[in-house]
Amino acid sequence: MSFKHLLLLTLLLSPWVSAKSYLAILIDDVGDSRERGMALLQLPKPVSIAIIPYRPFSIELAQAAQTHQRDVLLHMPMSNLSGSYSSEGLLTPQMSKEEFLAQAKANIEAIPGIVGINNHMGSEMTAVYPKMRWLMQQLYSRGLFFIDSRTTIATEAEQAAKDSGVASDRRSVFLDNDDDWDHINDQLDKAITAARTQGFAIAIGHPRAQTIAVLQRRLTDWQGDVEVVSLSHFMALKESR
């Protein structure tokens, strides 16, 4: 089901939607490992994945995600402030409008079945409002939402999305900046607390063995008042309130 269709259904049912809290878990940087990508799709809750385009297993994992009824986002490559990141499909502020729109279009079309996008890197690119508006206009025309990974406090992405009529939200917690079992568990607890406090929270992690192991253990016996939902369901619920 597309995000637009899910949003419509949620709006129709909104009088019966409970006031419980919701957590969406998004795993970035998917596409380099078939094994870890498939492990994410087999987690016991609807964890969403963000796939970098043009990687060895990008298309295969996107197709597998649809089979497993898991949400796929395009993890859009964007330039960072240090200039240390280079990737096929990279969006940069130095591009002309024609170059920028052509590359954004190619990236969006490189991953089948996406429901939205989020930024990969982007501490430079997301701070450039005019070009983020160009991107958001493409998302609007395709009915896609945007999740801001917030790699810089100077990001203009959410404002550009709002001004373009694009549904958007931001990362609440990074799960695994430190690849340590206790740290990842603590960060997941912070995400749960944020969901309880605010009603909605997004946790972003990466396809690392330790992260997958923590999620497998925690999500298997998940209980309590916070529901783990797919990002498209999360966005539709939030839009309906």
Confidence grade of residue 8 (pLDDT, cut at 50, 70, 90): low
Confidence grade of residue 76 (pLDDT, cut at 50, 70, 90): very high
Question: How far is 120 from 90, CA to CA, in rounded Å?
Answer: 9
The average confidence (pLDDT) of the chain is 94
Asked whether the beta carbons of 25 and 47 are under 8 A apart, the reply is yes
Q: Is 196 exposed, middle or buried (0-12, 13-18, 19+ CB in 10 A)?
A: middle
Gyration radius from the chain CA atoms: 17
Asked whether the beta carbons of 169 and 147 are under 8 A apart, the reply is yes
**Nearest alpha-carbon partner for 169 in 137, 204, 128:** 204
Confidence grade of residue 2 (pLDDT, cut at 50, 70, 90): low
For 162-203, the pLDDT digits (tens) are 999 999 999 999 999 999 999 999 999 999 999 999 999 999
Model pTM? 0.92
For 104-138, the pLDDT digits (tens) are 999 999 999 999 999 999 999 999 999 999 999 99
Question: How far is 49 from 28, CA to CA, in rounded Å?
Answer: 6
Question: How far is 117 from 115, CA to CA, in rounded Å?
Answer: 7
Domains contained in the chain, CATH given:
20-240 (3.20.20.370)
The CA dihedral of 193, 194, 199, 202, to the nearest 10 degrees, is -120
